[in-house]
Amino acid sequence: MEYAFVRGIEQFLYREARLLDEGKFQEWLDLFTDDVRYWMPMKTTRDATSSAETTDKELAFFDDRKPTLSLRVKRLTTGMAFAEDPPSRTRRIISNIEIDALSDKEVEVYSNFLVYRTRLESVEDTYVGHRKDVLKEVDGSWKIAQRKMIIEQNVLASNNLSVFF
């Protein structure tokens, strides 16, 4: 894999993270294809022989397609999304990026994330997890066609998930 190709995908993910940290949610939303699935199953503690993640017939922390993901973004502009109004202060660290090329125009990308969220006076949450994205090249730019995210916690240690991953 060409270094420039790898570098381009890394830059795409870093830029995406910066859009969220800067509160540019509409620009962030435009990075997703119209048929995206934005899915965050949950970690469970089950038998060693069975899946430690909830399946797609079970509950998840997020399970959005573009229409509901768009509504989440629109909600932030209603003036009544109090969980993010006043807004949280966030900083995202994206790392451990690995890329499997499916074709010239489609790649699977693994990454780890650390999302630090603090809000109001001293509320603090740290969400640590990993993602598996499918990126597609559309009109010369990468778009996120699938995103599967996992937060490693079993009992989520924060009072909501009002930020994006």
Cα separation of 136 and 102, whole Å? 10
**The only residue of 2, 4, 45, 124 in contact with another protein, by rule CB under 8 A:** 45
Token pair 């240690």 in the structure block, residue: 157
Cα separation of 51 and 48, whole Å? 8
Q: How many amino acids of this chain bind another protein (CB under 8 A)?
A: 39
Where is 151: in which H helix or E strand?
A: strand 141-151
> Is position 128 an interface residue for another protein (rule: CB under 8 A)?
no
**Closer CB to another protein, 99 or 161, in the complex:** 161
> Is position 50 an interface residue for another protein (rule: CB under 8 A)?
yes
Backbone angles phi, psi at 107, to 5 degrees: -135, 150
> Is position 26 an interface residue for another protein (rule: CB under 8 A)?
no
> Is position 55 an interface residue for another protein (rule: CB under 8 A)?
yes
CB of 142 to another protein, least distance (A): 25
